[in-house]
Structure 1
Amino acid sequence: MVHVAVDAEQSFQRAKSLPLAFTAGAAVGVLGGMIGLGGAEFRLPLLIGLFGFAALSAVILNKAMSLAVVLAALPARMAAVSAPELAAHWPVAANLLAGSLLGAWAGAAWAVRMRSATLYKVLAVLMVLMAAALVATHTTALGTLVLPVGVQILIGVATGFGIGVVAAIMGVAGGELLIPTIVLLFAVDIKTAGSLSLLVSLPTMLVAFARYSRDGSFAVLRANLRFVVVMAGGSVAGAVLGGVLLGVIPDLVLIPVLAAILVFSAVKLSSHGGR
């Protein structure tokens, strides 16, 4: 609760840096948009390192902004992939949601109970995981696993649970993990997988958000509402611009740079937790 009090005291100073918040959010949105994702994993270290939020507070704010970005992205995705196409794949979404909803609740519950130093280290490890997933997804050809239906369902639930945990603890939508999972496990094309990932992400994020709302740390969202709205607005605007720039920089150049940013951020978060 000490960190929440500190965040509340600093909210006035952060309110004066709203232009920086919009700019930082836009930069994150552009990075995410250029690879077809929301980019929340890049926003988290900025909330901690640039704006001085404690780990749990940063996760909660990141979750709120990720939710806003996902809601803004849904209409565009629905236009790109028709409702009947998505409806044909409802068992995929249901399979992953069976695990991700439980994982989101569990992940948020674990996050609010962790010591701050432990949470920093966990976030650092997850940042490296995201970097590895980013490289694997964008530099290798995604095949398809041929599995018996029963095994496929069990793996889908287990994988969904893990993704729900990661998304809740980092405050991200989880598309970085959901999209390759949908392609590999269910043989869905990557364009449709992107839309399905949003349909899985949205209820998963709402569950994590509901769990966080039961903790006293959730007050950081009310104390910094203007900051959140401005940074989320920047993230949405940046994501649109990033989508326009999609493919301008070759993946062989862009992906290693983004992965390096994530690893560097992980190192900084880890050292932050040791203070």
Structure 2
Amino acid sequence: MRFLFPLIAAGLLAAALPVAAQPAPPARPVTLPLEPYLGVLWAFQAKDGGRYLLDTAGGLTAITPAAAKAAGCEPWGRITGHRMRGDRVDLARCDKVTIDAAGVTLAPPTVGVFDFSKLLPPDAPTLQGSVALDAFAGRAVTLDLGGQRLIVETPDSLKARVKGAAEVPVRFARDAGGLALTPFVPVPTPKGPVWMELDSGSNGAVVVAQHNAVLLGLNPDAKERQPFTLAVQGGPKADVQALVMDLVIDGNIGVPVLKDWVVTLDLAGERAWIAKR
């Protein structure tokens, strides 16, 4: 269902990191154009011509060994996380790597180093990396996959953007030793809400953890997709085909749903809004 590696590191939270200085908002909203990648995912072009995936549930921004060398970094140390099915991922790290695109500089404090060719088809277009929300920490961004864009908001444009949108509860997971940044929104059940990540790197509409399937009216033992009405608490609904899997998280909302929504995330204020396109 997904071939990248969101660092969902359940149980791997480390001591809190020092609070980093918040980046100054842009003078005006900045639109980062997105382009399809392999027909199901989304990528953008950096100023230097490099291509990066946009993966909102990737947790940690990662670059290729070649991109690390070009940035003058010799990878060192280790970052450990887990994909949503529980398999462990170990990455070397680089610090102070910047990515310039569409007039905005993305500067996550630490990036992972990963050889994407191990996961991609042999004829896949070359990638320099995968950018997660940690690269936008402290900013407000709007994901509009249907419009093929991600917008870095100003305080004024944020106010205008969310007029008419539904504000929904949100949690931001800081896994992988506090480096990752992944958004989760609640879906009500008779027992209480389950929290599903918003994932622009997943080609599945909805993946539900097996331990939540009955609560959501799904057969936990079914291998095929099942009809399901996704209802985010306080937000929109979507009639989809859901897949049940054994996950270490509650669930995942992917591109087939997100392309019909406009999702605004205030990463500094920890707020979220969803509007239907």
TM over 0.5: no
Q: Which has the higher strand share?
A: 2
TM norm structure 1: 0.25
Q: Which has the higher contact order (CA 8 A, sep 6+)?
A: 1
TM norm structure 2: 0.25
Q: Which has the higher helix share?
A: 1
